[in-house]
Amino acid sequence: MKKQMRWGWPGAVWAALLAPGLSLLPGLLARTAGGAGWLSVVLALPVMALLGARADVWTREGSGLAAQALRRGLWGRLLTIIYIMSAAVLLAVRLRLGAQRLMSAAQEGNGLWLYLLVLALGGARLAWGTAGMLLRAAGVFWRILLCALGALCLLSLLRLRPEFLWPVEWQALPGVLAGTVSVLGVFGAGVYAAFVPDEGASSRGVGVWLGGGAQALCVLCVLGSLGPALAGRLSDPWLMLARGIGVEGAVRRLEGLVSALWLLADLAYLGLLTQGVRALCPRWGRTAAVALSAVGLVLSLTLLRQTQIARGVQEQLVPALGLLVGIALPLAVRGISCAGKGS
């Protein structure tokens, strides 16, 4: 059981962070850093590894972020409000773009509300269950996603064109650094795993680190196969990569299959956010988590109804929120707590 818990949280966080990562990073890094975009993920890995090693920054014990947010008082309530509002925005964006991807794969021009409802109900179901239920579901999700991701990357590596990726010029350095900040922002949402009580708390940062390694490979495959110019113009370059890969006599187009499997990552992401908010509001529990799903559904149907608006929010606001809730606030809370002990 302990072994399952030790590996359950890294797998859950890994699967969850694939959802925003594959949706945003390949195109964004192609536009900001060109063919060197994969280096942005590589540069972000040491920071994520450091956060994973210093799990006490996020933990529920002592002076960690979760411990401070769960305490009563003005400071704890302010942190709770910030994290709930951020989770609502992140969840709404994922609902809207996840539904759009499913609708595009099904080649339907309407029925957006139906896909949104299916995703929202899936997230609400994971929120209604226990953290152990989320771990069990995510344990299945990440194994399926790992096999699918490995197969797709292997097939795309056969079509890789090194001239798209190398050599890296010094002029690309500012774009690479800007892309690194965006990568850290995308993976900052992994902080919501810290709020959920469980024996495997110390291993949760490992999932963020493993997710960064997978994202580096995925961005490398997209940029090396499609080229930075084409990848930067596409709304979903990862799906375009799958569309161009076929196994003669077996699967002619993998886009629909990839979209269906990507749904597992969406559900893991929604479950991570809703379970985190549920733990932040122990008095309300399941009601708070289901209410979060309902708020996300309403936001995705109203403010984010236009696809371009949703993509703009994902590119501009999602990384900023991730940096705030996943890096800036945890480090600030840790610094304030340490300063208070030293005085």
Mean pLDDT across the chain, nearest whole number? 78
Tokens, residue 336: 């304030």
**pTM, 2 dp:** 0.87
* 44-59: pLDDT as tens digits: 888 776 765 554 445 5
Q: What secondary structure does DSSP assign to 305-331, as a single string?
A: -SHHHHHHHHHHHHHHHHHIIIIIHHH
User: Residue 205: what pLDDT?
Assistant: 54
User: Residue 255: what pLDDT?
Assistant: 66
* Helices 237-244 & 255-280 angle (0-180, nearest 10): 150
Domains (ranges, CATH) in the chain?
Answer: 2-342 (1.20.1740.10)
User: Residue 62: what pLDDT?
Assistant: 43
Write out residues in the chain with pLDDT < 50, as ranges: 1-5, 55-57, 60-64, 199-202, 248-250, 252
Point out which residues pair with 251 in neighbouring strands: 247
Asked if the bond preceding 197 is cis, omega within 30° of 0, the reply is no
Q: Phi, psi (5° rounding) for residue 25?
A: -65, -45
Q: CB count, 10 Å around CB of 287?
A: 13
Pick the closest to residue 99 from 176, 18, 23, 209 (CA basis).
23
The single-letter code of the amino acid at 248 is E
Please state, in angstroms and rounded to a whole number, the distance separating the CA atoms of residues 295 and 87: 10
User: Residue 55: what pLDDT?
Assistant: 46
Pick the closest to residue 65 from 337, 269, 321 (CA basis).
337
User: Residue 217: what pLDDT?
Assistant: 80
Q: Phi, psi (5° rounding) for residue 106?
A: -80, -5
Pick the closest to residue 186 from 15, 22, 7 (CA basis).
22
